[in-house]
Amino acid sequence: MARWAPDSRGRLQTAALELFSEHGYEPVTATAIAERAGVTERTFYRQFGDKREILFGDGTRILDVITTAVDAVPVEPLAGAVGAALHALALDMQPRYDRLAVRAAIIAATPELQERELRKMASWATALASYLTGRGTDPATAEVCTAAAMAVFRIAFQRWLAAGPDSSLADLVAESLSSLAALLPDPGRR
Amino acid sequence: MARWAPDSRGRLQTAALELFSEHGYEPVTATAIAERAGVTERTFYRQFGDKREILFGDGTRILDVITTAVDAVPVEPLAGAVGAALHALALDMQPRYDRLAVRAAIIAATPELQERELRKMASWATALASYLTGRGTDPATAEVCTAAAMAVFRIAFQRWLAAGPDSSLADLVAESLSSLAALLPDPGRR
């Protein structure tokens, strides 16, 4: 087993997705993942705190994608800023369809992982709201709008997985956001 | 210990909330909860599958509250039907402020429980969407709107807990729903 492992992180993620797909999530051990990736268990634990974090370890990078996108646009109107964040997230995910589809299938089969996924997305919403508030948006509005937007993103994401890699996640996100209009008590909008 | 325990379910819930508040969630056992409630462990397990279900066992009743409310109104406009569901949920929770505040504090202290709570609310959104779709609402719109509405409800609920028992959850829900307008890309609405 090589002591020096280039891109050990990516290789561990690939190995884990393969093993989870073959055997399910529960029975696969950190040891087996490290072995398949050709790295030591120590490298596994240095890269990921535990097995679950292999599936959820991209959170920090995703937050970067979101804040970079919001930095590039005015925070008002809020629809534009939140839309830019979700659009950037969609573009980031689009080329990773295959890996994300495998990951989603593993998560869908394990309630504990579904719960972790929901909390991760809620934390993105909270982070985006704090960021917008830091730039002057009304905190109450930012909190509601980012939470709703993330719930909408999650649905668009599931539709994208169902529709296949040639469908556009960004388009599905935009469509889903616009269907929120039906939720507003203004007859003129429907 | 009495073999016949009137309202053993309610007594178990009260005992569990007391014990969780005193010692935290993790260290409290089903045995300790049953003992505090004055019922047998067998009664505990008949009422709740496990310790976690003590905090989440009201789901079926909540779904009844939601569907009964939606039954009483037209499904279109969707804003009215979803609004009626959340309003009924708010009225159902209003008199239970004290118990819900204790429960929320316990959940906030334990990531595993936060995750379970998010999944429970997502399941209410899905159930409401299926119900509306069964009555003729466009499925895609219903899915997006109920998921967003439940995310909004969750925020209003947290605001209500922070504001105290004299604040109106129903008012906070209505306010939060209306601030979703900022998310729609229509300059005329802001």
Closest residue by Cα to residue A85 from A149, A139, A144: A149
Instruction: Render pLDDT for B125-137 as a digit per residue (tens, 0 to 9).
Output: 999 999 999 999 9
pLDDT digits (tens, 9 = 90+) for B85-115: 999 999 999 999 999 999 999 999 998 899 8
A chain contacts of residue B119, beta-carbon cutoff 8 Å = 111, 114-115, 118
Q: What is the pTM of this model?
A: 0.86
Report how many Cβ contacts below 8 Å link chain A to chain B.
129
Report the chain B residue with the minimal C-alpha distance to residue A179.
B141
Question: A77, B150: Cβ pair inside 8 Å?
Answer: no
pLDDT at A186: 64
Q: What is the pLDDT of residues B49-97, one digit of tens each?
A: 889 999 998 878 899 999 999 999 998 899 999 999 999 999 999 999 9
Instruction: Report, as an integer, the average pLDDT of B143-150.
Output: 96
The CA distance from A131 to B151, in Å, is 19
Per-residue pLDDT tens, chain A, 190 aa: give them: 445 557 899 999 999 999 999 999 999 999 999 999 999 999 999 999 889 999 998 878 899 999 999 999 998 899 999 999 999 999 999 999 999 999 999 999 998 899 889 889 999 999 999 999 999 999 999 999 999 999 999 999 999 999 999 999 999 999 999 999 999 876 444 4
Which residue from B116, B141, B178 is facing A115, i.e. has the nearest CB?
A: B116
Chain A residue with Cα closest to B179: A141
Which residue in B has a C-alpha nearest to residue A181's C-alpha? B184
Q: Which residues of B touch A180 (CB under 8 A)?
A: 144-145, 148, 180, 183-184
Q: What is the pLDDT of residue A180?
A: 93
Are A79 and B144 within 8 A, CB to CB?
A: no
A79 CA: distance to closest CA in chain B (Å): 4
- Burial class from Cβ neighbours inside 10 Å (0-12, 13-18, 19+) for residue B39 reads buried
pLDDT at B5 over 90: no
Residue A172: which of A184, A185, A158 has the closest Cα?
A158
Q: How confident is the model at residue B184 (pLDDT cuts 50, 70, 90)?
A: confident
Residue B190: pLDDT over 60: no
Q: Å from A136 to nearest chain B CA?
A: 15
pLDDT given at position A57: 83
The minimal CB distance from A180 to the residues B145, B178, B190 is found for B145
| Residue A76: other Cβ atoms inside 10 A | 15
Task: Report the pLDDT value the prediction gives residue B59, as an integer from 0 to 100.
Answer: 79
pLDDT of amino acid B44: 94
Q: Do A83 and B185 touch (CB under 8 A)?
A: yes
Chain B residues with CB under 8 Å of A177 CB are 183-185
Contacts of B173 in chain A (CB under 8 A): none
Tell how far CA B64 is from the center of its chain.
Answer: 12
Instruction: Decide if A151 and B154 are in contact by the 8 Å CB cutoff.
Output: no
User: A74 with A141: CB under 8 angstroms?
Assistant: no
Query: A50-66: buried (b, 16+ CB within 10 Å) or exposed (e) per residue?
Result: ebeebbbebeeebeebb
- Look at residue A189 in the predicted model and tell me its pLDDT: 45
**Which of A130, A179, A87 shows the shortest CA–CA distance to B147?**
A179
A8-42, pLDDT tens digit by residue? 999 999 999 999 999 999 999 999 999 999 999 99
A-side interface with B, Cβ within 8 Å?
77-80, 82-83, 111-112, 114-116, 118-119, 122, 125, 140-141, 143-145, 147-152, 154-155, 159, 176-187, 189-190
Quick check: A184 and B187 in contact, CB under 8 A?
no
Kind and range of the H or E run holding B82: helix B78-93
Measure the CA angle with vertex A131, ends A184 and A174; round to 5°: 40
State ipTM.
Answer: 0.84
Interacting residues of A105 by C-beta distance below 8 A, sequence separation 6+: A21
CB A150 within 8 A of CB A122: yes
Contact criterion met (CB below 8 Å) for B115 and A113: no
Q: What percent of chain A has pLDDT over 70?
A: 94
pLDDT computed for residue A1 by the predictor: 47
- pLDDT surpasses 70 at B186: no
In this predicted model, what pLDDT tens digit does every residue of B160-181 receive, in sequence order? 999 999 999 999 999 999 999 9
